Amino acid sequence: MNNNKINVKDIEIVTFQKNDFDFISLTDMARYKNADEPRFVIQNWMKARYVIEFLGNWELLYNSNFNRVNFDTFKNEAGNNYFVLTPDKWIKATNAIGIQSKAGRYGDGTFAHKDIAFEFASRLSPVFKLYLIKEFQRLKNEENERLALGWDVKRLLTKVNYKIHTDAIKTHIIFPRTLSKKDEVFTYASEADVLNMALYGMTAKQWKEANPKLPGNIRDYITKLHLLIEFRNQYIERYAKVHKKSWQVDTQQFKRYAKTWENRKLSSISKSHIQKLHAEIGATKGHYAANRLLALLHTMFNRAIDWGWDGANPAHGIKKFKEQSRDRFIQSDEMPKFFQALSEETSIATRDIFFLVY
């Protein structure tokens, strides 16, 4: 759990990271409005129906264990004079993960996922929200720069180790004095590929021909696909974060259901393993959760193949569970937007049908 601090409008705000989710202290943020009793600012914000709907829908996106029954109860009670909702009450009643209560040396109080924290900032002040987003982004940019530096160091070590191996070949195997300069180049490259064949199962040329669009060389990719945990990290950074707004859901699913596989080789995971895991999750967590994990693993192994992994997708061909469809009802505050969208519908017949039904 990484703890950091940012300064927004002369207020020091604690942030931390947990399970690849970024959390920001609502308690610290609330001091912008009430330095002595920040908890009252949070409670007053949570009383509003639109806030409860926002919190609940966030949980439905990211939390498979969210208690929808108690969520609906809070939503129906919101707006009444007697209604009071505290962060602890919300967490205990709904199994929420987007808001957390925390105590410790790095700060205590109420913390929220950055999506929720930014929404809370809107209540405090539009200017405060802008400064918060700016400072938080600066913090994340600094973290990314440190991660990039760490990767550069690892890449340098890989190159150094490879140089040691190939120089050993050049010194102890080739005997360059017995070869011409032209023959030395080809022989040296050929003997160096002995290492590639031993470590990766293919020569550098074979890998490049199989992956003409990928930058770099074989050592940039194959070593990262050796273990499932190594590949998962590459999948999140290179694919999920780029192409999926819900990439954090992928991270949560993997850690929740496939954590015991982290140190396994990709090649050791078979179709029967995934079928068994799919069945176990379906029986204990529900068909929806099992199918989402199956889809994730299928996509991950497809990316591994695209990036040079020599294997078949073990998630291919596994049948998903049947899922029960869920009804979605339009809320009263959503009706104006619904009718606005309906008025812009180009198909007159479709528009008239909805108006008749209504």
Mean pLDDT of the chain: 78
Domain-located, residue 339 = no
Residue 336: per-residue pLDDT: 72
Q: Structure pTM?
A: 0.47
Backbone CA torsion sign across 302, 304, 310, 313: negative
Mean pLDDT, rounded, for 237-255: 84
Q: Looking at residue 173, what is its pLDDT?
A: 47
Indicate if 119 and 15 belong to the same structural domain.
yes
Residue span of the structural domain in which 244 resides: 225-306
Question: pLDDT tens-digit profile of 154-175?
Answer: 555 555 555 555 555 555 444 4
pLDDT-based confidence at residue 120 (cuts at 50, 70, 90): very high
Residue 345 lies in a domain: no
319-340 pLDDT tens trace: 988 877 656 666 666 677 777 7
Q: What is the dihedral of CA 100, 103, 104, 106, to 10 degrees?
A: 50
Angle at alpha carbon of residue 72, lines to 68 and 73, rounded to 5°: 120
Q: What is the structure's pLDDT at 252?
A: 86
Is 40 domain-assigned? yes
User: Which of 105, 139, 173 is the endpoint of a domain?
Assistant: 139
Instruction: Look at residue 326 and tell me if it is in a domain.
Output: no
Residues 35 and 163 in one domain: no
Residues 250 and 181 in one domain: no
Q: What is the pLDDT of residue 27?
A: 93
Is residue 123 in some structural domain? yes
Amino acid sitting at position 298? H
Assess contact for 20 and 7: CB atoms under 8 A.
Answer: no
Same domain, 159 and 72: no
Domain match, 86 and 109 both: yes
User: Is residue 200 in some structural domain?
Assistant: yes
pLDDT of residue 21: 85
Rounded CA separation 24/265 (Å): 36
Find the DSSP H helices in the chain: 26-30, 38-46, 49-62, 68-77, 87-94, 114-124, 126-169, 181-200, 204-210, 218-221, 228-235, 241-243, 247-257, 271-284, 287-306, 335-343, 348-357
Looking at the structure, tell me whether residues 9 and 96 fall in a common domain. Answer: yes
- Over residues 195-224, mean pLDDT: 62
**Rounded alpha-carbon distances, angstroms, from residue 16 to 95, 125, 248, 255, 288:** 20, 23, 15, 18, 30
Q: Is 318 helix (H, G, I), strand (E, B) or coil?
A: coil
For residues 251-280, give the mean pLDDT.
Answer: 84
Confidence tier at 306 by pLDDT (50, 70, 90): confident
- How many structural domains does the chain have? 3
Tell me whether residue 241 is in a domain: yes
Structural domain includes residue 319 = no
